[in-house]
Structure formats: C-alpha cells, structure tokens
Amino acid sequence: MRRPAAAEDALQEIVTVTTHSEAETAAVAASLAACLNRGDIVALEGGLGAGKTAFARAVVRAFCGPKTVVPSPTFTLVQIYETPNLSLWHCDLYRLTDVGEVAELGLDEAFAEGLTLIEWPERLGDGLPCRRLHIRFSSGAEDDTRTLVFCGDARWRERLSGFGGEYA
Ligand SMILES: Nc1ncnc2c1ncn2[C@@H]1O[C@H](COP(=O)(O)OP(=O)(O)OP(=O)(O)O)[C@@H](O)[C@H]1O
Ligand SMILES: [Mg+2]
C-alpha cells in the first residue's frame, strides 16, 4: 500500500465555482491571476475540452496583456511567457509519454522560479508537487457550464479566502 505524503493528505477542497461561458471562466482566471506569484504551481485537471486552456489563456493575458496570443502547447508541451517580474510557463503534458522527458523540459526550474500552469498534470505522477493549487474542471449538464473545484493545502486556503464568492 502506498501511503500518500502528509502534504498530499492536506490537499483539500477550498472553493467550487460554476461558470456558464468561456468568458466567465476567463474572468475567474483573471481574478485568480491577481493572487498568483513567482514559484506558484497551478495544476489544471480535466477532460478534453473542459476549459483548461481557456483558463490558462486568461491567466497569461492577465500578466502579459489582453492581446497576447496564447496557443495550446499541445505539441510543444511548454510555452514560456516572459514578464518583467517572472517567467510564466504554460504546459500541456497530454503528449508526455515518458516521465523522463520532464527533466528535458526544465520543469524543476519553472517550479522553483517561475509561475507554472500545467494541463494534464497527472502525467507527472509522483513528480507533481504537493504545494500546488489544483483545479479540477468538469462539464455540467448544459453545454457551456463548467465546474471548477479549487483544492490546495492550508496556505492556499488562506491565500484564497474570499476568492470566487461571486461565482459560487
Ligand atoms: N464555461 C466554459 N468555460 C470554458 N470553456 C468553455 C465554457 N463553455 C464552453 N466552453 C468551450 O469549451 C472549449 C474549452 O476548450 P479548451 O481548449 O479550453 O479545453 P481544454 O480543457 O484545454 O482541452 P484539452 O485537454 O483538449 O487541451 C472551448 O471551445 C470553449 O469555448
Ligand atoms: Mg488544453
């Protein structure tokens, strides 16, 4: 039996948000962006078309400007955006087949010094840091409805106190 690390035990639900359009998801992402700093890791988990890239795009635009072109890094795996204060890494690990590739991507550097957004974070297995903010995306009964469950440790709970109230 594999016992989860203590920090993993501490990953608890913080807030659940429901959105009814891509624009609403982008607004939630923009308000989260205002709380994010260098060294933060945000895991975006959910199926195909759940809204992970839509969310990441809005975070990047909050840091780099509203007209920033933000492609889905499905084939490049990583796209890096330089801002005056930090490097913002947008990762899509869907096509990661070998965890050994992770070292080549330089994710350790991103985790230490950048701000990292990761789609398909489960591809990292045990390499996914426990200190992350973890957001689970799922589709609702209606086409444009998405549920976003924000999870994290006690530090994230404190940092996000009051966050998302208007969308809950
Ligand atoms: N409430 C919503 N929030 C986000 N996207 C929505 C919403 N309603 C509809 N959409 C649509 O769902 C799609 C989400 O696509 P997106 O590329 O963000 O998904 P993804 O989770 O990144 O998928 P993939 O795993 O393929 O990368 C877009 O076409 C978007 O317009
Ligand atoms: Mg995507």
Contacts 24+ apart (CB under 8 A), 157-163: 157/12, 157/14, 159/35, 160/14, 160/15, 160/35, 160/133, 163/14, 163/15, 163/31, 163/32, 163/35
Q: What are the pLDDT digits (tens) for 98-137?
A: 878 888 889 999 999 999 999 999 999 889 999 999 999 9
Determine the distance separating the centroid of ligand 1 and the alpha carbon of 73, expressed in angstroms: 14
Determine the distance separating the centroid of ligand 1 and the alpha carbon of 153, expressed in angstroms: 27
pTM: 0.94
The residues lining ligand 1, judged by C-beta closer than 6 Å to any ligand atom, are 19-22, 24-25, 46, 48-54, 72, 92, 119, 144, 146
Q: What are the pLDDT digits (tens) for 70-100?
A: 999 998 999 999 999 999 999 999 998 887 8
Tokens of 109: 């550097």
Q: Is the domain 21-167 a CATH 3.40.50.300 member?
A: yes
Determine the distance separating the centroid of ligand 1 and the alpha carbon of 33, expressed in angstroms: 18
